[in-house]
A and B are shown apart, each in its own frame.
Chain A
Amino acid sequence: MDVIWGVSVDEVAWGGAIAFYLFLAGIAGGAFLTASMTDLFSKKQYPKVIQSGAYIAIVSIIVGLGLLVVDLGRPLSFWKLLLNVNMGSVMSIGVFIVSGFTALSVVYGVLVWLNAAAQKQIKITSANTEVAATSVGQGLQAFRKPVAGLGVLFSIGTATYTGFLLSAVTTNNFWHTPFMGIEGIPFLPILFLVSAISTGLAATLIGALNCGDLTTYKKIDIVLIILEIILIFILYLSVKPVFFTGSMAVLFWLGVVILGLMSPLLLSIYSLAKHKNVILPVCGMVVIGGFCLRYFVVYTGQLFK
């Protein structure tokens, strides 16, 4: 860099690793929510959906946290985040929400796995060993629903936290955008929560492909996509146009709007009408669109201050 002429380089403090972390934390929160809500409230049995969501949550949040630590200037001192607390900092509060979520998702995943293993065993073992095998499992299974319930709170917390992390930067015009102009209600936590549930649900369905009738989930996903389109439209109206015309414009229009929202919405409605199974392309596009959204928001906020 030239000291006198200040040749500007588009350097950003938070780059792709952080965008990917925000995306993965969203997937984890949404997948956990899909699994736990199904476990808690569904009358029909969807064991594959519960397993898929529970396992995806663990993998995503752990990979995401790994990225976060690697992106630190001093990765080996990450533990200091747990010791030095600043209650005024969203990141400091987030450390505890995300840690709690990670712990709960691991416990829940193990319980789901034990339950699935026990179910399998019942099918193959003889009648007299069945009693012994299930009683141990059943003792632990009593905790499954309370863990799922507490996890619901933490997964919503994790998903919204990724938005609060950015919206708390009051000096950033884009990240700090208020919802419908109402000062005090930040926009990004709402957008990221909806996107997290949408992408997490999509990822869970990819993991539970060909596992019976998933029509209910497909309908929920359509509602979420429509909700997200409305939110993106509100965002478009509430900020300066430079954010959507600069160097990140292609990513926004192609990645977020066309690939991530419009295409899956149209394809999904078409498939429901024609009874065709297009889960993989629909959910795949939703997930990729979710990543584009995080990448777009993280970079745009820093490039056009």
Chain B
Amino acid sequence: MAKKYSMIINLAKCIGCQACTVACKFQNNVPEGQFRTKTPANGLKGTYPNVSQYFVKEACQMCQKAPCVSVCPTKASYYNEDGVVLIDVDKCVGCKYCMTACPYDARFLNKETGAADKCTFCYELKVSNGEKPACVSTCVGGALMFGDLNDPLSEASQFLAKHKGEVRKPELGTHPNVYYIYEGVVK
């Protein structure tokens, strides 16, 4: 059965250490100054000493109806058999149409290859070997979960059954496969 890989980000557990940011860069050889994922601070609130803020991990949202895939003129952006949005670097001409279409600013033009680049869920290097993406396995606070939503017994499915997962910009109808849990976070 086809898989439906998904990432769940439990914001209350994220301390903003950027271990995911660094692990991703090492794993995927992302050029200097460019990021497939990063975790900026959000929602700074209150006055000292009663202040709060949280961190939101940003990366490709792995949309099931991905605007980048539909606009790509060469079919370089595609869904693989497990529902992961990937880029065939050989087919990409670097027209940046996908970058104008992505509502999450998840894509960039790789300085070294000239092709569009983004998070792959570490599909080729890790997930296809049964491992978890680099950011997930390195996360110190245990804020990241990864699994197959088509398997009701997976950690991801079990977690989402009990907690309210939100997707970014649901009004755009992109149906992301990355879920954010805001429980315990002052929005």
Contacts and interface: CB of A to CB of B under 8 A. Distances in A.
A and B held together in a complex: yes
Contact of B116 (A1, A5, A73): A73
A5 B41 contact: yes
Interface in B76-117: 76, 91-97, 99-103, 109-110, 113-116
Interface residues of B, number: 38
A134 interface: no
A78 interface: yes
Nearest to B169: A171
B38 interface: yes
15 contacts: A5-B40, A6-B41, A13-B100, A71-B96, A74-B92, A74-B93, A74-B115, A78-B93, A80-B93, A84-B76, A91-B71, A92-B73, A92-B74, A301-B100, A302-B100
B91 A84 contact: yes
Contact of A81 (B73, B110, B115, B174): B73
Interface in B147-172: 172
A171 B41 contact: no
B92 to A, nearest CB: 7
Interface of B: 16, 18, 21, 33, 35, 38-41, 55, 67, 70-76, 91-97, 99-103, 109-110, 113-116, 172, 174
A305 B16 contact: no
* Interface-centre pick from B55, B95, B172 (highest chain A CB count, 10 A): B95
A301 B41 CA distance: 26
B91 A73 contact: no
A301 B100 CA distance: 9
A74 B72 contact: no
A172 interface: yes
Interface string A88-103: 1111100100000000
A6 B44 CA distance: 13
Main secondary structure of the interface of B (DSSP, over half): loop
A4 B94 contact: no
Interface in A70-116: 71-74, 77-78, 80-81, 83-86, 88-92, 95
B55 to A, nearest CB: 8
B79 to A, nearest CB: 13
A13 B172 contact: no
A305 B168 CA distance: 14
A73 B73 contact: no
Contact of B95 (A1, A91, A168): A91
A186 B174 CA distance: 20
A268 to B, nearest CB: 36
Nearest to B34: A1
A3 B18 contact: yes
B72 A4 contact: no
A72 B74 CA distance: 13
Contact of A171 (B74, B95, B102, B115): B102
Contacts of A172: 100-101
A200 B39 CA distance: 48
Contact of A89 (B39, B97, B103, B109): B97
Contact of A73 (B39, B75, B94): B94
A171 B172 contact: yes
A170 interface: yes
Interface in A104-145: none
Given A3-B38, A81-B73, A89-B97, 6 more contacts: A73-B94, A73-B115, A74-B93, A91-B73, A169-B101, A170-B67
